[in-house]
């Protein structure tokens, strides 16, 4: 079939693809030595997903003007506390932001 790759910038694409590979953990690493961290990573990834969805929904509502001043204040406080709590938990388990993601194969990335 004569499969070919054509580009003027092979290095740029190689770098970007490498970045992409590095960014995506293929699986949750859980073994006897780091079972706690593996589990924390999975749980925090899911919490992070929910937190981001909540945040996005809140932004949409601010944009649409459908929140009262009081509601904005309450939502803001809640989201802020959630974010701070997540920071604390990430520190406790030694996890970085980019680690809180999952590659779902054909479905793409979770976050």
Partner 1 sequence: MTMKVYAYGVIDSNEKIDEAMKGLNDAPLFNIPYRDIGIVVSDLNTQIQKEDKKSVLKHEEVVEKLMDTFTVLPMRFLTLFSGKEQVLLMMKNYYDDFIENLDRLREKIEFGVKTIWPGDLIRERITTAHRKSDNLPLVASSSGKSFMNEKFENYKIDKEFEEEADRCIAIVDGFFNRFVAEKRLEKLKTDNLLLSASYLVDKEKRDDFKKAFEELRGSGGDLKYLLSGPWPPYNFIVLTKPNAKKFGSLDMVDSVFQRKDRT
Please report, as ranges, the residues that interact with partner 1 according to CB under 8 A: 1-10, 12-14, 16-17, 19-20, 23, 55-56, 58-59, 62-63, 69, 72-77, 79-80, 105-106, 108-109
Cβ atoms 48, 111 nearer than 8 A: yes
- CB nearer to partner 1: pick between 76 and 94: 76
Task: Give the residues across from 109 on adjacent strands.
Answer: 103
Shortest distance in whole angstroms from residue 108 CB to partner 1: 7
Cβ atoms 41, 28 nearer than 8 A: yes
- CB nearer to partner 1: pick between 23 and 43: 23
- CB nearer to partner 1: pick between 19 and 85: 19
What's the CA gap between 84 and 44, in Å, rounded? 13
Q: Helix or strand or coil: residue 109?
A: strand
Shortest distance in whole angstroms from residue 76 CB to partner 1: 3
Shortest distance in whole angstroms from residue 96 CB to partner 1: 16
Cβ atoms 93, 44 nearer than 8 A: yes
Distance of CA 46 to the CA centre of its chain: 9
- CB nearer to partner 1: pick between 55 and 99: 55
């Amino acid at each position: 079939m004569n499969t070919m790759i054509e580009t003027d910038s092979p290095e740029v694409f190689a770098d970007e693809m490498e970045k992409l590979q590095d960014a995506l953990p293929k699986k949750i690493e859980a073994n006897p030595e780091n079972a706690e961290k593996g589990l924390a990573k999975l749980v925090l990834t899911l919490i992070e997903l929910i937190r981001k969805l909540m945040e996005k929904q809140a932004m949409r509502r601010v944009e649409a003007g459908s929140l009262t001043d009081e509601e904005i204040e309450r939502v803001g406080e809640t989201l802020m506390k959630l974010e701070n709590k997540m920071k604390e938990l990430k520190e406790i388990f030694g996890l970085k932001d980019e680690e809180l993601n999952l590659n779902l194969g054909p479905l793409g990335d979770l976050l």
